Structure 1
Amino acid sequence: MVKSRLEMKNISIEFPGVKALDDVNFSTTTESVHALIGANGAGKSTLMKVLSGAYDHYTGDIFIDGAKVHIRSPKEAQNYGIQIVYQEVDTALVPYLTVGENIMLIDTVSNMGKKQFMNWNRIHKRAQEILESMNIHVPSKKLVSELTLAEKQMVLIARSVSQKCRFLILDEPTAPLSFSETEELFRIVRDLKQNNVGVIFISHRLPELFEICDEITVMRNGKFISKEQIKETSINTVVEYMLGEKLEEQFPKYHINIGNTVLEVKGLNDKEKIKDINLHVKAGEIVGLAGLVGAGKTEFCKALFGASKKVSGEVLINGNTLKINSPYDAVLNGLALVPEERRKEGILVQETVATNLSAANINKFTKIFSFLDFKKEKTSAQELIKSLGIKTPAETTRVQNLSGGNQQKVAIGKWLISDAEVYVFDEPTKGVDVGAKKDIFELIAELAKRGKAVIYASCELAEIIGITDRIYVVYDGEVAKEVETKDTTEEELLFYSTGGK
């Protein structure tokens, strides 16, 4: 097989108030797995959207095997064998269609309008052949709505491969995956590499990149910084390139006098995933909820916040039993939740930064007759933007135009105005770079200093140990173990997270 070379030269692109890419160069080949990394807002996803045809107003040139190519639409990118699998897999699939219909969707759509009957048997046969060739064990006739996140991702990769893919872009592919699912993804990536496909891998999980990738390109502030062979660099060197400075201690050092019990949960049960969970959190305490993907952490957070149906059990704040039937009840009773899926549940992506920051406590910004005090909202937003270090041109910028880390700061910032009693963070650093992670850890530590009760739910065990005072390990919807953070290790947490007794 002949190896192909892809080159992007002097790529620049601007959005209102933001120069997202500034004269960027990028190159890779088939038979290679190439890591593309940078802090949130570095421009890596934007560069790949240019390559995949999602953005057409860029300047610069793209070459394949030395020949200049014209890519200004997704269709043109696909014609050159360039495919992309975005982090939000649900947006690219049709849930009420089968796996086979989704895999063959591009072929099906391209044949629409022609006078011919749809041969469904042939569609499913071809889809099943593609799945089997990649050793993906998902039935072609199963509905996409019935799949796990990992299976949906595999279906999207299978669709890409069905289109004579030469270069496959994976944007944060491991963010929602468990350890075993990540290993399966890596197997597929290695198979693609062997079959003369070039894979461009965007991720913030540096150890994974050093395991699977051959080369690494680092971007910062919309510019190309470096390109190196993985075997010739190190994680610390890469992080310093990303941040433009030496890597400092990630977790804030603080000492807080733990107060009385603020939150008490007795026998919380959602009749589906979580089973009779008991826990408590004291004032100034950060309590970890550790567990692997699918353990029930997210379901617990939603049940506590009134976002689940058929919940039983008892929730008390400062000794008072609460009746929480909805998120509205939760907010009224002093609970705040920063959810795992920030774009779907944590922010209003089409609205401005100012609107998002005031959304959780709109009463503080209303005048008589319920008219919104825009001046007060603007002043408050500007203060939060400064104190949280949110990188945005202005408070009027739409949140969808911010990087993932800055979106997460907005999701957290809106609750700081409400001054809740209990703050629940569900995977708060998912898809966030090391620089933004440090900012988020400091925000959480600051809440604890103010005497707030904090729950930190994550499958990142190093973070759990770095930021918490006490930990509950969740396995299969139940608390498997409670430990003091100072007395445990990642190995012990992993042991209980995987069902160890």
Structure 2
Amino acid sequence: MGEGKPIKLQMKDISIEFPGVKALKNVDFMTMTGTSHALIGANGAGKSTLMKVLSGAYGHYTGEIYIDDEPVQIRNPKDAKDLGIQIVYQEVDTALVPYLTVGENIMLDYSVNDMGKKQVVSWGYIHKRSKEILDKMNVKVPSKKLVSELTLAEKQMVLIARAISKTCRFLILDEPTAPLSHSETEELFRIVRDLKQEHVGVIFISHRLPELFEICDDITVMRDGEFVVNESMREINQNQVVEYMLGRKLGDQFPQMDIQKGETIFEIRNFSDGEKVHDINIHAKRGEIIGIAGLVGAGKTELCKALFGLGRANSGDIILHGKKLRLRSPHDAVKQGIALVPEERRKEGILVGESVATNLTAVNLKKFSRMNLFLNFKKEKEAAREIIQNLGIKTPGENVRLQNLSGGNQQKVAIGKWLMTEAEVYIFDEPTKGVDVGAKKDIFELIFQLAQRGKCIIYASCELSEMMGITDRMYVLYDGMIAKELQTSETNEEEILFYSTGGK
């Protein structure tokens, strides 16, 4: 853990470029051990990039880093770890080895680095030490359980345990609460408060402003790769933070549109996926936005995937325009006019190593091919440029690799690729997860425009304010079943939460 007296960390004049993208421009950042510091900005502001510089993931930056006014060199992850700087990334699955146990993952640095030329692994020490760390965090996960069997929240706790298994002065948490339920978030905050007591400095990257005001002492705001302001949380409010992030006032987040509803075009009858969701009955009209509400683990994602042909043993009926659909794969779903924007966009919704243009046109290649054999690259790029402009995707061009774009702009691409398909039913699973307030507004406007065009929208989210702001009707899921159908205009967040937690 960190040491007793406060330690100051400073980053000065940090700049970094990627092909076609100047991600950071002379950024300053300062924090102390024993405090929690919010780092916030719109998608593409550079906050994750700045923390990747600090954690050694990007070594080609210019500028200086100081610890207690002494210059330090951080050009790779080992440099950062040796200085007591640890990071827990948003995409937890990419940082864990699924076929190893919890204990082996926590002690991974020990196994790889500290054993040196030892030929014998002390499994007893690995599991004893990892259990001590988990007990100290009050995390009830068996050390010998496989990581592949854990929930997202448990995986995140394992990564935090790994980070503090060695000397940790500064712990960076990138969107740590995005996959967590309310109770899991409270547990994470308890751990953060304990770490502060042990003189660890915690840096929070998040878009959830109420949480930041609850847990953080200071805040740094970035915009367009530049430093904007550093303030004490006591000296600033949420509206000011949003204005600093966007460089303007936000206005109404949810569009105000009067959308005419048509006939019922989509029905789900007595539907089960054979595992998580059971006996689901839903109907949706043309131009209607239907909400699927519920807490983390209620079965929202499983339902969305099953409706997209990803279930194994589906039973019941999926009916579109009066015709029963047989969906054995996502290919079948796309052919029948169903589109899905998945929760885990980097794993399931986009091709991060490919260009923006390739991603935007991937689901409708026929439209850009001659005789279904030769791709018309000029036509493909023209279509991609049109969607980039219409959705306000921040990218230097359509040929830039998607991995070089921010999370919010990647999400716009994940949505934008479906606009060329003319699907009938659009399923959105947590589409604003890890997205800033400005990009959220763009996504909401896009969804309303689809509804205006007579599309049927299914919107799954655990964000109650979004349920109230964007849907016409909603179904509340609890333990894989529909607990209640609610008219949005006649309900409130308290009632949604009541049914989400098993109320009857």
TM exceeding 0.5: yes
Alignment of structure 1 residues 345-424 onto 2, 5 Å: 345-368=348-371, 370-424=373-427
8 Å Cα contact 2:366/2:372 also seen in 1? no
For residue 21 of structure 2, the aligned residue among 18, 21, 25 is 18
Report the counterpart of residue 341 of structure 1 in structure 2: 344
Which TM-score applies when normalising by structure 2?
A: 0.98
After superposition, the C-alpha distances for 1:195-229 in whole angstroms (9 at most, x for unaligned) are 00000000000000000000000000000000111
Report the counterpart of residue 445 of structure 1 in structure 2: 448
Q: Is residue 224 from structure 1 mapped to residue 203 from structure 2 by the alignment?
A: no
Report the counterpart of residue 279 of structure 1 in structure 2: 282
Q: Quick one: distance in 1 between partners of 2:179 and 2:195?
A: 21
For residue 91 of structure 1, the aligned residue among 89, 94, 104 is 94
For residue 259 of structure 1, the aligned residue among 254, 258, 262 is 262
Which one-letter code corresponds to 2:349 in the other structure? Answer: G
Q: Which runs of 4+ in 1 moved over 3 A?
A: none
The structural deviation recorded for 1:116 is: 3.7
Q: Is residue 461 from structure 1 mapped to residue 464 from structure 2 by the alignment?
A: yes
Report the counterpart of residue 8 of structure 1 in structure 2: 11
Report the counterpart of residue 189 of structure 2 in structure 1: 186
Q: Is residue 426 from structure 1 mapped to residue 418 from structure 2 by the alignment?
A: no
Q: Quick one: distance in 1 between partners of 2:443 and 2:196?
A: 36
Report the counterpart of residue 113 of structure 2 in structure 1: 110
For residue 490 of structure 1, the aligned residue among 466, 483, 493 is 493
Corresponding residue pairs, total: 501
Which one-letter code corresponds to 1:15 in the other structure? Answer: F
Report the counterpart of residue 306 of structure 1 in structure 2: 309
Report the counterpart of residue 31 of structure 1 in structure 2: 34
Q: Quick one: distance in 1 between partners of 2:240 and 2:365?
A: 44
Q: Quick one: distance in 1 between partners of 2:160 and 2:101?
A: 15
After superposition, the C-alpha distances for 1:427-455 in whole angstroms (9 at most, x for unaligned) are 00000000000000000000000000000
Q: Is residue 240 from structure 1 mapped to residue 243 from structure 2 by the alignment?
A: yes
Report the counterpart of residue 148 of structure 1 in structure 2: 151
Identity value in percent: 70
Gaps of at least 5 residues in structure 1 are none
Q: Quick one: distance in 1 between partners of 2:301 and 2:333?
A: 16
Which one-letter code corresponds to 1:461 in the other structure? Answer: L
Q: The residue matched to 2:164 in structure 1 has which SS?
A: helix
For residue 80 of structure 1, the aligned residue among 71, 80, 83 is 83
Q: The residue matched to 2:303 in structure 1 has which SS?
A: helix
After superposition, the C-alpha distances for 1:315-374 in whole angstroms (9 at most, x for unaligned) are 111111111111001011010100101101111111111111111111111102511111
Q: Quick one: distance in 1 between partners of 2:182 and 2:372?
A: 53
The structural deviation recorded for 1:306 is: 0.3
The structural deviation recorded for 1:112 is: 5.0
Which one-letter code corresponds to 1:59 in the other structure? Answer: T
For residue 329 of structure 1, the aligned residue among 328, 332, 352 is 332
8 Å Cα contact 2:8/2:31 also seen in 1? yes
Which one-letter code corresponds to 2:229 in the other structure? Answer: S
For residue 124 of structure 2, the aligned residue among 104, 109, 121 is 121
The structural deviation recorded for 1:115 is: 3.5
Q: Quick one: distance in 1 between partners of 2:27 and 2:102?
A: 37
Which one-letter code corresponds to 1:70 in the other structure? Answer: Q
Q: Is residue 71 from structure 1 mapped to residue 74 from structure 2 by the alignment?
A: yes
Which one-letter code corresponds to 2:337 in the other structure? Answer: G
Q: Is residue 44 from structure 1 mapped to residue 47 from structure 2 by the alignment?
A: yes
For residue 470 of structure 1, the aligned residue among 458, 469, 473 is 473
Q: The residue matched to 2:502 in structure 1 has which SS?
A: coil
Which one-letter code corresponds to 1:305 in the other structure? Answer: F
Q: Which region of structure 1 is more displaced relative to structure 2, 122-131 or 62-71?
A: 122-131
For residue 214 of structure 2, the aligned residue among 196, 200, 211 is 211
Q: Which region of structure 1 is more displaced relative to structure 2, 104-113 or 159-168?
A: 104-113
Q: Is residue 296 from structure 1 mapped to residue 299 from structure 2 by the alignment?
A: yes
Q: Quick one: distance in 2 between partners of 1:410 and 1:280?
A: 28
Q: The residue matched to 1:11 in structure 2 has which SS?
A: strand
Q: The residue matched to 2:132 in structure 1 has which SS?
A: helix
Q: The residue matched to 1:162 in structure 2 has which SS?
A: coil
Report the counterpart of residue 323 of structure 2 in structure 1: 320
Q: The residue matched to 1:295 in structure 2 has which SS?
A: coil
Q: The residue matched to 2:199 in structure 1 has which SS?
A: coil
Q: Quick one: distance in 2 between partners of 1:146 and 1:347?
A: 25
Q: Which region of structure 1 is more displaced relative to structure 2, 365-374 or 171-180?
A: 365-374
Q: Quick one: distance in 1 between partners of 2:411 and 2:313?
A: 29
After superposition, the C-alpha distances for 1:142-175 in whole angstroms (9 at most, x for unaligned) are 1111111111111111111111100000000000
